Structures are given as C-alpha cells and as structure tokens.
Amino acid sequence: MITAIALNIALISLEGQSLHDAKNNKKDSGWPAYGGDAGGSRYSALQQINNENVKQLQVAWTYQTGELKKYDGTNAKEKAAFEATPILADHTLYFSTPSCRVFAIDASSGTQKWVFDPEINLKNDFSEITSRGVSAWPAPGDKANGSTAKRIFIATLDGRLIALDARTGDPIIYFGKDGTVDLREGFGKDLSITSPPAIIGNLVIVGSSMGDNQRFDYPRGTVRAYDAVSGELRWSWDPIPKDSSDKAWQTWNGPKAHRSGAANAWSIISADAERDLVFIPTSSPSPDFYGGERLGQNLYGNSIVALRASTGKMVWYYQVVHHDLWDYDIAAQPMLITITKDGKKVPAVAVGTKMGHIFILNRETGESIFPVEERAVPASDIAGEEANATQPFPVLPAPVGLQSISTADAWGITAQDKEEAKKRIAQYVNKGPFTPPSYEGTIVAPGNVGGIHWGGMCFDPEQELLITNINRIPAVIRMLPREKVAQLEKEHAEIMRAETGRQTGTPYIMKRDYLFKAGDKGLMMQIKPPWGTLLAIDMHNGAKQWEVPLGYMYDPAQYPDTKKWGSINFGGAIVTAGNLLFVAATLDNHFRAFNTKTGELLWEYALPASAQATPMTYEVNGKQYVVIAAGGHGKLGSKQGDFVVAFSLP
C-alpha cells in the first residue's frame, strides 16, 4: 500500500517533472524553420552546450547523402553548392541536397528514414545548383492544424512545388497534380527556386530565382501563395507594377520599362502569423548592371515589402537601393526581432544588405527606427544610363564591411604581387559607394557577394545583439558596347577571362571580375585583409560591439598571420542562450564557436568538406545537438562532399 508520505513524494516528483518539462518546452523551440523560426532570428534558447563546455564538443553522428554520384555525366559539380539547413519536426531532421533530393533522418542517430528524389535533370543549364532547405506544414503554433508535421514542401530548381508526406516521403497525390504544382506554367523555363517556401496558416508562399544578367526581359519576379492542402493558387503579387494607378508605375520610365523582368525574391521570405504579414526581400530588376531600359527609381525592386498574408495586398514597402546598377539584391532573410528603443519594446524587421547597410524598420509601419539619410552618389557616364542621384544610407547601425577602395588598399603575398595589385586597382574607377559601372571598369565595393550575403544575420534577444558575418570582396564591372566586344576580348586577356552577362535587349554586354587572381595557393587576394569578418551590433544604440576575422584562406604553417586575415565566406551564423555563436561558411573547412559577448574563438573543428551552409541546433531525448551540412561550393572552389555532421557533448 502506498503511504500518504510516499504518495506526496510521488506527486511532488511528478509536479517537479512537469515544471521541468514545461520549462524545457518553453525554452526549446527546436529548429522548425530554415531560419530557426518563421522570422529568421537563428536563435535557440538551448544552453546545455555553452561557453564553458563547448570545447568538449565531439561528433555524435555523420550522415552521407551520396550526392556527388548524382553529378556523374554532367557538369553539375562545378555549380553545385550544399547550402541547406535542416529543420526539426517530431524527432526527425528534414533537408534537401543541391539536386533537390529530400532526406528524413533520425535526429538522435542520423539514421535515414526516407529519401525522395524529384529527378532534376542536372544537364539543364541552371544558373545555380543548390537548394537551401525544405519547409514543414503546419507551422509551429498553428492552433488550427495542430503541431505535428504533416507535410514537407520542397520547391525545386526546375520550378516545381512538391508536397510530401512527412512520415513516408511519398507525394501527397491530392496536392496540385499528383503532389506537384508547376511553378513555371505561364512564366517559362528561366524560373527556378533555391530557397524553402514560407509557411503561414494554410498558405505556402514561394518566390523565384533567375540568372538575370543574360537578357532584359526575364519573367517578372511574381510571389505566389498556394493552399497548403489543395495546391490551389490563393494570390500573387508582382514587384513590377502592372497598374498605372499604382504610384510605383511612375518610377519605371521608358517605352520598354514595364516589360522589365526579375526584381524577384530568391532569398528567404519571413512570416509573422500574429500580424498576418509576410516580408518579401526583392532583388534587382533585369539586367542587374544596366538600367537604361528601365529608367527611374524602379519600385518595388530592391525593397523589403510587407504583404498581408491572407490576401497578398501590400501593407508597406521600403526600398534600400534606387535604380539598382550593382546587383544589390536583398540576399539575406528579413529578420523579425524585438528591440528596446527609448525604453519601449518595438517589433522590428532587420534588413541586411550586400552594401553592408543594415536597415532597422518598424515591423508594422515600415518606418526606420534609426536615422537614414539620402546622400548624393556619383552619376553614370554610360550613354543611355541615368543613375539615381541619391541613395539611402543608414546612420545607425553604421555601414559595415568595405565601403571604398584605392591603390592604398593593394595587397599581395610578395612585393611583386602587391605591385601588380596596385597597378590593377589604378586602372579602374571608384568614387565611393554606388559608383556606377563604366566603360573602363568600375570597382564596386562592396561587391555583389557582400557585405552581408545570403547567409544572413542572427539575433540574441537576451543581449539584443545583432550578429552577422560579412565579405570584403570588391567586384570589377565593365560595360562593353555590344558591337565592340569581340575586338576588346581579343585585345585584352583580362576581359576575355571575365564572367560575361549578355544583357540581350540592351546596347551593352557586362563583364564581371573580382580583385583576386587564381594562383597555385588558391585565390590570391589583391586587397588588404581582412576578407571576411564576424561582428556584433548592440541594438540598444546601433553601435558595433566587436568585430573579429572569420576563418583563413592560406596554410597557417607557411603564413602565420593568415588567421588574422579572414576568409571569403558563404553561409550564416546562429546564436544560442549558451552565450555561443556557431558558424562555418569559410574556405578552410572549419566549423567554429565564438563567445557571443566578446567574439572570442572558443572551439573549432575541421570538417570532412567545406560548409557553405548555416548550422542549426535542437534537443532530443535530453541531449542538445548542433548540425551542419558540409558539401562545399563548386563555383567557389571549396572542398566538396556530401556530409551532414552532428555534434554533442560527451
């Protein structure tokens, strides 16, 4: 017989366990979406792994996808990048590979549960071969549909939206046609999707990706919302205005302006279910580097646009670049955060940009919370072009990363290398931020890969710290009259080697290069370091709190200072309540943990391949794991592989 004392002890024990479970459930939101949550804060309240014990981290399990075998018989490996971040639902990790295969693996053991292959034809000429992840429906907190993942959505390189049964990986046959919606219907073969869709209520919202330097009249970057159950189209929104009554219509000037394309949202769309809002990060109208066929400010390109999720109607917009000539897409996911301003909590959206500009906007109104100034910028000397006379510059937070360049910034490993770099820089134009492309060649600083790139930012809500990794890589952009290209390529080897954007439908062909050269030691940088950094900004006042080099690009045994120089990086960071910041992204194949408060490096691990992806973290069965996809980046030339690696404490 259970005595009264024993019964009381049992009840107290159960009550304590219930409180413990409630506390853990409150702290642990898992990692149900690509950015950690629907607003992309990339924050976890877990702290089992913390700044005091992180040095004990060890590999818990490793899973290999066999992805490299998919590239056999194609040139896909040259363009492929494993950029996915897994999501967690019901003790299962779901993620996609560059070929858009979807995997479900056990979160505690890494054992495969199922795999779905959409059978992408990798012989097609895709601009990028990547898939950053998948999405689960219903979204967390969806009271109407419950908390158990029923469907996994993948949007593919060849323009399909596919719904899969979360338990089996089988297509949901009553979604669209046999589980698939054809996103290319009415848009053409140029439309791809490289980012996971946004989930809000019963809607699945998708943007698109386009290689938008090849012609003027790409498809419009229409954003569409589909019913998560049936696959029926619920609404669509076009970033290039169709209606002359829209005030943005007047910002597209010229006889062909409204036939421009792109301005698409290829990055991650954020969702705020409480406010019934989705936040769309748009890109440059096509083509990226010549706007003579689309004169004017070009609203709603290069903007953060808040749409009413239930209807697709615009609530507000904020343009971060007027009349883009630099490929300054909003590449980073808009980050939904709450900051303290003048003693009050303010719902905000943080917009990180390739220019190194960070705009902090009121989430409900679109008004800037910190000062922003319209400043005069250089004019264009290209016939037919009219650069916008001003551009918006945030006063706080101050611009980060490289903002201008001169011969004083030349760098080389040897004196000869440095002199060569100096001569190269001297032959190009740079008049500060937003210097337009030119005939002789313009150094664009920051370049089109950042500043802040698609890896995005993260936010520690306890300290109100915004943290991001950045690139410091100038691009060289040259505009060539179409009829003179063959002659100039013949006369100048550097022009011949540069990347070509055909820009069909305009008078010019674009040539793009960067201030580095290929060498026997890899990329030989031609501007002084650091080339990649990690930094934190205090959102109470917009001031930078710390900044440190991120990674390295040369052999430390041969170049002892290389760890002070940083690395080109792609992939984002995450932050945890354990006072830790986790990031890979660099060319040295390492995964690292930093102290959030100080930027001090606390732990690093050499991965089996480079990791141009954003990590994630979660807890199952009382154990916290940190996971990273390590598969490398073909265009970047980093070490490729097919690994998903999980770490935990002993």
pLDDT in tens, 388-439: 999 999 999 999 999 999 999 999 999 999 999 999 999 999 999 999 999 9
Q: Where are the domains of the chain?
A: 31-648
Q: Do 210 and 253 contact (CB within 8 A), yes or no?
A: no
Q: What is the H or E stretch that residue 595 is in?
A: strand 590-595
d(CA 570, CA 449): 9
Sheet of strand 623-630, all strands in order from the earlier edge strand to the far edge: 58-64, 643-648, 623-630, 616-620
Q: Do 197 and 215 contact (CB within 8 A), yes or no?
A: no
* 83: its two tokens: 């950029």
pLDDT at res. 26: 39
Name the residues annotated as catalytic.
327
Q: Do 498 and 512 contact (CB within 8 A), yes or no?
A: yes
d(CA 428, CA 495): 13
Tens digits of per-residue pLDDT, 464-523? 999 999 999 999 999 999 998 888 888 888 888 888 999 999 999 999 999 998 877 678
Sheet of strand 151-155, all strands in order from the earlier edge strand to the far edge: 135-137, 151-155, 160-165, 180-182
pLDDT at res. 24: 38
Among 538, 542, 551, 643, which Cα is nearest to 601's? Answer: 551
Whole-model pTM: value is: 0.94
pLDDT at res. 494: 83
163: burial class by Cβ within 10 Å (0-12, 13-18, 19+)?
buried
C-beta neighbour count of 19 within 10 angstroms: 10
Helical H runs in 328-442? 415-426
pLDDT at res. 160: 98
Superfamily of domain 31-648: Quinoprotein alcohol dehydrogenase-like superfamily (2.140.10.10)
pLDDT at res. 214: 87
520: burial class by Cβ within 10 Å (0-12, 13-18, 19+)?
exposed
pLDDT at res. 29: 57
d(CA 617, CA 646): 9
pLDDT at res. 60: 98
Rounded to 5 degrees, φ, ψ at 531 are -100, -15
Instruction: State whether residue 404 is helix, strand or coil.
Output: coil
Among 619, 616, 610, 608, which Cα is nearest to 649's? Answer: 619
Among 108, 86, 64, which Cα is nearest to 614's? Answer: 86
* 522: its two tokens: 């890899």
d(CA 194, CA 100): 9
Q: At a CB cut-off of 8 Å and minimum separation 6, what does 119 contact? A: none
Q: SS3 helix, strand, coil % of the chain, rounded to 5? A: 10, 35, 55
Per-position DSSP letters for 84-146, written without gaps between them: ---EEETTEEEEE-TT--EEEEETTT--EEEEE-----TTS--S-B-----EEESPTT-TTT-
d(CA 287, CA 448): 14
The phi-psi region of residue 250 (left if phi > 0; otherwise alpha if psi is between -120 and 50; otherwise beta) is alpha
Q: How far is CA 599 from CA 522, 542, 547, in A?
A: 28, 17, 7
Q: At a CB cut-off of 8 Å and minimum separation 6, what does 75 contact? A: none
d(CA 608, CA 436): 41
Among 527, 416, 418, 520, which Cα is nearest to 476's? Answer: 527
Instruction: Report which residue type is found at 610.
Output: S
d(CA 201, CA 197): 13
Q: Do 383 and 391 contact (CB within 8 A), yes or no?
A: no
Return the half-sphere exposure (C-beta side, CA atoms, 13 A cut-off) of residue 625: 26
What residues of the chain score a pLDDT lower than 70? Answer: 1-29, 521
Rounded to 5 degrees, φ, ψ at 17 are -65, -40
Q: Which residue has the tokens 């580097």?
A: 289
Q: Do 99 and 160 contact (CB within 8 A), yes or no?
A: no
d(CA 19, CA 334): 35
Helical H runs in 504-557? none
